[in-house]
């Protein structure tokens, strides 16, 4: 009985793949890469703050992709792209904050006579950093291609995004 249910559910998940008419694999490839990196980080047991970095990158990538998709469809309102990116980012990140929340001290030595310490949500800061790195990667990729006279390596944009996130994740893992 259980195998019949499993086969039925598997068919329901696989069947839509064969019904797809066209595939567009520009930004979804980045999105899948960032999502896989976040899942890999959880599996490896790295810091929740590093996982938050990848979740922020994933959310930003999804927002940028969805905003571009709506623009291609011809649907446009003022500030649409920015609103869609922020909306998708918040709707992805905020529900996950209770799961990945890490709060720690943030010390400012220049405030007060002996300095001041605040409670800081490291996961929220890391999520924002992941979003910023993902947002900055496409223009940085464009600049690199301009410097190389339009030449690039295959999947350069994806590699650049993952490289930026990997370096940030390594630094965060060593510090936090």
Q: What is the pLDDT of residues 142-156, one digit of tens each?
A: 898 888 888 888 888
Strand partners, 121: 103
Q: What mean pLDDT do residues 120-132 have? A: 93
Say what the pLDDT of residue 24 is.
Answer: 43
Say what the pLDDT of residue 22 is.
Answer: 47
Q: Mean pLDDT, the chain, as a whole number?
A: 81
Q: What mean pLDDT do residues 46-56 have? A: 88
Please give the helix or strand (H or E) that residue 120 lies within, else none.
strand 116-121
pTM: 0.73
| pLDDT over 90 at 167, yes or no | yes
106 φψ region: left (φ > 0), alpha (ψ -120 to 50), beta (else): beta
Tell me which of 73 and 36 has the higher pLDDT.
73
Say what the pLDDT of residue 25 is.
Answer: 39
Each residue's pLDDT tens digit, 4-35: 666 666 555 565 555 555 444 345 565 566 56
Say what the pLDDT of residue 163 is.
Answer: 93
- Please check whether residue 172 is in contact with residue 53, taking contact to mean a CB–CB distance below 8 angstroms: yes
Tell me which of 38 and 137 has the higher pLDDT.
137
| pLDDT over 70 at 43, yes or no | yes
- Percentage of the residues of the chain whose pLDDT score is greater than 90: 23
Rounded (10°) CA dihedral 57, 104, 43, 130: 10
36-44 LR contacts (CB < 8 Å, sep 24+):
37/162, 37/165, 41/169
What pLDDT band is residue 126 in, cutting at 50, 70 and 90? very high
The neighbour count for residue 81, using CB atoms within 10 Å, is: 16
Say what the pLDDT of residue 152 is.
Answer: 80
């Amino acid at each position: 009985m259980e195998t019949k249910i499993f086969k039925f559910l598997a068919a329901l998940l696989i069947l839509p793949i064969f019904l797809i008419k066209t595939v567009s694999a520009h930004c979804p490839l980045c999105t899948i890469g960032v999502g896989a990196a976040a899942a890999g980080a959880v599996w490896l047991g790295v810091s929740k703050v590093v996982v938050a970095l990848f979740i922020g990158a994933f959310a930003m990538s999804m927002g940028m992709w969805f905003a571009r998709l709506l623009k291609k469809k011809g649907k446009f309102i003022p500030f649409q792209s920015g609103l869609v990116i922020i909306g998708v980012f918040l709707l992805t990140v905020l529900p996950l904050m209770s799961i990945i929340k890490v709060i720690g001290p943030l010390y400012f030595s220049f405030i007060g006579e002996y300095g001041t310490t605040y409670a800081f949500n490291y996961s929220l800061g890391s999520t924002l950093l992941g979003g910023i790195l993902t947002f900055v990667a496409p223009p940085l990729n464009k600049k690199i291609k301009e410097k190389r006279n339009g030449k690039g390596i295959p999947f350069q944009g994806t590699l650049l995004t993952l490289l930026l996130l990997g370096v940030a994740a390594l630094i965060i893992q060593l510090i936090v």
